[in-house]
Amino acid sequence: MANLPIEDRLLHYFLAMGAQQTERAEIPQNNLAFLSGSEKIHVVILRNEDFIQRNKVFETILSLTSLRNTSQLLYLAAPRLLGASIDAAIFKPYGIGLLLFDERRIDEAVPPQSLQPTQTMQQKSPNLDPGVLTELATLRSMYAEMERNMATLREDLKTFQRDSESRTSTTEPTPSSRINRPESMFANPSFSSAQLPSFFANNPWLDVLSKRGRPGDEPIAG
Amino acid sequence: MGETIFRGMLDFGDAIVASVERCPVELQPMLYREVLLSGGNFSWVVPERLEDTAVDAPTKMKLLLRQKGIKNVSVKMTQSPQFSVWHGCIIYGFAVPENYEWDWQRLEGWMKLSG
């Protein structure tokens, strides 16, 4: 999960919250847009590499305000370090939601305020703690990623089994087959002597040695 | 052979005698009549124009044993001296049942070192 780009992780996050992604071609880079019911959600991403450029931070935040007319819910997705360097509460009066992410998880530090307050995602389940909802969304996205990993692993396992079967059929007999050979050779008359080297043919020692450890097999001398 | 270490100067005649004398006395005459040579070096053949000087390995063995007073001897070479020991190992490994465990009296069997 942590290896995925932040866009994909945010995508999983919002999909797990029940939102639907809109056409990606319509939105600029570092932006994500979703539909949740009749509300449009817009997410602007401040990347780790942009975070160290002060102008880029301001530009990202200002670009959010310009989206007021087109989206009901606005989110800034920023590295968790932003939460440590500024007071996240300053976003609240402006109705901008703040998502803080690190390599492990995504948390909603500040919920957004909708221009149509009756339709926010939080109001759909007013009895639930927002923290629980966030945790649930994170778990859902992790579960979706796990399912994808499982599917990949199943494919890898199938490929490995096919390879090992084809390799076994072309290599020498395994030790387990060697264990059964003396019995099977003498018990099964259809055992093909063509499968054995020429020095096996009419070799009296095969019969003598195969009786080792059985009653009547006494040492010649000793 | 067993606990005896054969030094490099020991000739093959002495080696055969030492080996046979380790076996029961009743069997010794039979063993001298069934000496079988195996090993790539025994497949050495007499070079041209040295026929009156050199002999092949079985003949050499007979001569060595005759010098020690052992006359009723039959020495033969295996069909494929280079590989016959390996053939024997393969036959042994193939035929001996897996559950035949090592026997210190018979000095044979499968010695399971683990599991």
Tokens 């932040």 belong to which residue? Answer: A6
Contact A111, A125 (CB under 8 A): no
**Whether B97 and A183 lie within 8 Å, measured CB to CB:** yes
Under a CB-based contact definition with an 8 Å cutoff, are residues B82 and B43 in contact?
yes
Q: How many C-beta atoms lie closer than 10 Å to residue B81's C-beta?
A: 18
Across the interface, do A213 and B105 touch by the CB < 8 Å criterion? no
Q: What's the confidence (pLDDT) of residue A193? A: 60
Query: In A, which residues are within 8 Å of B106 by CB distance?
Result: 219, 222
Domain count, chain A: 2
> Does this model's pTM top 0.80?
no
- pLDDT tens column, B52-83: 999 999 999 999 999 999 988 999 999 889 99
If asked whether residues A129 and A186 sit together in one domain, one would say no
Residues A204 and A117 in one domain: no
pLDDT value for B62: 94
A137 and A29 within one domain = yes
Question: CB of A167 within 8 A of CB of A161?
Answer: no
Q: Does any domain span residue A163?
A: no
Q: Which residues of A touch B94 (CB under 8 A)?
A: 178, 181-182, 200, 206
Q: Which domain holds residue A87?
A: 6-148
Whether A155 has a pLDDT exceeding 70, the answer reads yes
Is A107 a domain residue?
yes
Q: In angstroms, what separates the C-alpha of A167 from chain B's closest C-alpha?
A: 23
- CB-CB under 8 Å, A178 with B91: no
What is the per-residue pLDDT across A45-99, written as a single tens digit (0 to 9) for each?
888 777 777 777 788 888 887 787 788 888 988 888 777 777 777 888 888 888 8
Domain shared by A181 and A103, yes or no = no
CB contact under 8 A, A199 and B87: yes
Percent of the residues in chain A that have a pLDDT greater than 90, as a whole number: 3
- Predicted local confidence at residue A115, as pLDDT: 67
Domain membership flag for residue A33: yes
Adjacency order of strands within the sheet including A96-101: A20-21, A31-36, A39-45, A73-79, A96-101, A106-110
Say whether both A55 and A127 belong to one domain: yes
Judgement on whether residues A203 and A93 belong to the same structural domain of the protein? no
